[in-house]
Structure 1
């Protein structure tokens, strides 16, 4: 499969122009940075505390911005033109994700810097953060394909913010409310469990479950995204 770098770069440039003009969307990138700075000044030095701002970044930057970019294409009736262009599905989906990917990585790095979070094994954590970024962007793309307007995308993304960003905080209540045990399978929770494992004497076995669960979430979400995308290509 040959990918056209020029086509993907063209989509990236177009998205950047749209993103920079929409202050309501672009201003969201500052929220996780402010949260990380506040947590740092409060003396929060736990893994879960550090990952509050990181998981917020994934939801309000990776998912929300990506959802808005896709929804804006639909609102302006340019997504169908893009679908019917010579660009292939991978070129369009990758191109539409490049800006969000770059911005998310920069904000995550900024949050880690402001929170003074230094993982014991940076290389493993980087891989986990990159995989998580891919997952949340895929979720944003999927939601954007369902949203009809940018305003609607702002609403449809709220459950993701609540579930994936705030879900891990429910872990402490699992003993009292067994039904909350399902939050342990969230990619955001697995990311925290992975980070906690890295702070101890971990083995390869400790890494298998978090990475496997995150990868499964990525595969399922990307599969659903491609199906919905292809369906919208033939919808009247």
Structure 2
């Protein structure tokens, strides 16, 4: 594995995103909505905390965007046979995944910083807020990559990744209003991410929360390794 090839994939994906407006919109839609709602509804309204919409949409962002984008990018390149050409050009599957994954991670991390700034976080609070979202982003990256590897085209990928992303993104919001859903969603990594970004006090950073997130990540990694070793990456 060479950094040069990983960097080349990174730059290629950057250029592709500039051309592909659908991918670009997915990166920015949740931060923009959070900004608009915060500035038009939460600002100056004592009944709604400034961080309300930020926390809500940041959780959705971490739980949905990396999933959908990774699955979409991988399966699109499969469909267009670009991925097969790259593999035949001595680009290893892991190099490709690192290139695309690092690009998606960087853009989503910038989105996390944007959410933090809109929410008015500063200093240690901003660092904690962004750090928690990054954990969620990494979890979703693994999940989205797995779906992209397993599916043969975008249509089949969308039929799988969208329902999963809807659950990871919107279940924490539903759980806010339904205690029954909350009993189940607490075992989901995005629910714990939501709990953490909603209250950045040290007392809320419990071992249980990070244990649940860790179990989710281990499960995603196990499925990812199975998919990767299955040998259908470029098919």
The TM-score range, normalised by the shorter chain, is 0.7 to 0.9
Q: CA deviation at 1:36?
A: 0.7
Which string of whole-angstrom CA distances, capped at 9 and with x for unpartnered residues, describes residues 194-213 of structure 1? 234423x527xx43222222
TM-score by length of 1: 0.82
Q: Does residue 1:110 correspond to 2:111, yes or no? A: no
Which SS does the other structure have where 1:185 is aligned?
coil
Q: CA deviation at 1:142?
A: 1.3
RMSD: 2.7
Paired residues in the alignment total 229
Which SS does the other structure have where 1:148 is aligned?
coil
Distance 1:189 1:59, change over 3 A: closer
Aligned to 1:230: 229
Structure 2 CA distance, aligned partners of 1:108 and 1:196? 14
Aligned to 2:28: 30
Q: CA deviation at 1:69?
A: 0.8
Q: CA deviation at 1:101?
A: 0.7
Structure 2 CA distance, aligned partners of 1:12 and 1:27? 19
Q: How does 1:75-86 map to 2 (within 5 A)?
A: 75-83=79-87, 86=90
Aligned to 2:37: 39
Aligned to 2:61: 57
Q: Does residue 1:169 correspond to 2:167, yes or no? A: no
Identify which of 146, 149, 169 aligns with 2:150. Answer: 146
Which string of whole-angstrom CA distances, capped at 9 and with x for unpartnered residues, describes residues 58-83 of structure 1? 24431111111101121012334444
Aligned to 1:194: 196
Contact 2:132 2:197 in 1 (8 A): no
- Structure 1 residue ranges without an equivalent (≥5): none
TM-score by length of 2: 0.83
Q: CA deviation at 1:135?
A: 0.7
Query: Which segment is superposed worse, 213-222 or 153-162?
Result: 153-162
Contact 1:51 1:192 in 2 (8 A): yes
